[in-house]
Structure 1
Amino acid sequence: MTKGEITRNRIISEAAPLFNKHGFDGCSMQEISVATGLEKASLYGHFATKEELAGEAFRYAWKQSCSARMGNLGDVANSVDKLKLHIENLASKQAFPGGCPLWNTATDTDDGNSVLRSMAKEALRDWISALNQIIEEGQSKGEIGADVDPEGLSTLIISLMEGAFITSQLQESGRVLRVAQQHLNAYIESQVRTRPQANETL
């Protein structure tokens, strides 16, 4: 890796929490200059525009979030248990400094920046797709009921946990995340996990 690439990556990693906490309009290149110790001219030597840097910062923040939320799912074999572990991660692990990059970016760009909003939409599609894959694999292995709608379940998990996260921030309490986790786990055990037929237990 060249010196320029190292500097570019450092700028991204140090700018990402600032954009995530303050939003695109609330984060100035001057703030990033102070955080990185680099002149603004140097920043623009690596990124043509603030929007380009914000896009790379979002990609970085989202990658870190995904690692925290999904990086250990390979530790369990059963697909239902993978879903429950993912929910546990969502309830217990901080996504990224300043909160969930997906939610923050979607909210921040609700009435503006179409490029960042498109990136947030793509990230959501990728998240849903990753959960769909777990569910479909579980169905092929007989661990998850064939009548379960993969995209419907994926969307339910994401929507409930993201909503609970926002509520927990406003209430300054993690209790609502645990309540959401408990309800999702109960639903998954009763409606998603397959149960042995009576003649299979004899």
Structure 2
Amino acid sequence: MTKAEKTKEFIIAKAAPLFNKKGYAGTSMSDIMKATGLAKGGLYGNFESKDEIAALAFEYSYNQLKEDIGAKVRAKKTGVDKLLTIFQYYKNYTVSPPVDGGCPLMNTAIDADDAYPFLKKKARAALQEMLGSLQHILKKGIEEGSFRKDLNVKKEAELIFAQIEGGIMMAKVLDEVTVLNRLLDNLKYRMEEEYMKLP
């Protein structure tokens, strides 16, 4: 890695928590300068704009989350154990998030909406990847004979993801992590009572 590449990586690592906590509008170039200790010329010497930094900062935070949960899920062999690992991973998520500032996908999706199309595009790609991973796990459970063959994997993946993300949002707004944990328990119950009822 060249010196320039190391500097870019350093800037993104410092900027990522700022964008994840404060959003695009709430994060100024001055904030990034303060976090990195670099002058404005040092930032613009490595990046064309704040937009570029924000896009790469999202990728950095999202990849942190993806690698953290991915390592735990890959360590499990069966579809059932992989799904249970996901439910366990998000327990108490709002109290001790693995990524500084909480879920980067939810934060960026809400922040971007229609105001920042370049960020919305990044969030959409991440969402599709997450849903695809859930569908893959559900299909694995079906192939192994653990889940019903008639399970609609697309619909269930959407439901799982929506409940987890909705639970994170509710727990954060209410300052009550038990809301999220109850929803995760409900998902586990649904898996045991609905997915595993074999014909």
User: Quick check: TM above 0.5?
Assistant: yes
- Give the conservation status (yes or no) of the 8 Å contact 1:70–1:86: no
Of 73-82 and 114-123, deviating more is: 73-82
| Aligned residue among 158, 170, 193 for 2:196 | 193
TM-score, with structure 2 as normaliser = 0.94
Separation in structure 1 between the aligned mates of residue 169 and residue 150 of structure 2, nearest angstrom: 31
Q: Secondary structure at the match of 1:92?
A: coil
Matched, 1:170 2:173: yes
How many residues of Structure 1 are paired with residues of Structure 2 in the alignment? 196
- Give the conservation status (yes or no) of the 8 Å contact 2:17–2:100: yes
Separation in structure 2 between the aligned mates of residue 82 and residue 111 of structure 1, nearest angstrom: 34
* RMSD (Å), alpha carbons: 1.3
What residue is the counterpart of 1:112 in the other structure? 115
What residue is the counterpart of 2:78 in the other structure? 78
What are the equivalent positions in structure 2 for 1:29-178 lying under 5 Å apart?
A: 29-93=29-93, 94-178=97-181
Q: Secondary structure at the match of 1:38?
A: coil
Separation in structure 2 between the aligned mates of residue 152 and residue 66 of structure 1, nearest angstrom: 22
Separation in structure 2 between the aligned mates of residue 8 and residue 106 of structure 1, nearest angstrom: 24
Q: Which has the larger radius of gyration?
A: 1
Separation in structure 2 between the aligned mates of residue 43 and residue 91 of structure 1, nearest angstrom: 38
Q: Secondary structure at the match of 1:91?
A: coil
Q: Counterpart amino acid of 1:114?
A: P
- Give the conservation status (yes or no) of the 8 Å contact 1:91–1:161: no
Gapped regions of structure 1 (runs ≥ 5): 198-202
TM-score, with structure 1 as normaliser = 0.92
Q: Counterpart amino acid of 2:30?
A: Q
Q: Secondary structure at the match of 1:166?
A: helix
- What's the CA shift for 1:194? 5.0
Instruction: Give me the identity figure in percent.
Output: 34
What residue is the counterpart of 2:22 in the other structure? 22
- Give the conservation status (yes or no) of the 8 Å contact 1:69–1:95: no
- Give the conservation status (yes or no) of the 8 Å contact 2:78–2:140: no
Q: Deviations over 1:108-156 (max 9, x none)?
A: 1123110100110110000001111111122122122111111111111
- What's the CA shift for 1:95? 4.2
Separation in structure 2 between the aligned mates of residue 91 and residue 56 of structure 1, nearest angstrom: 28
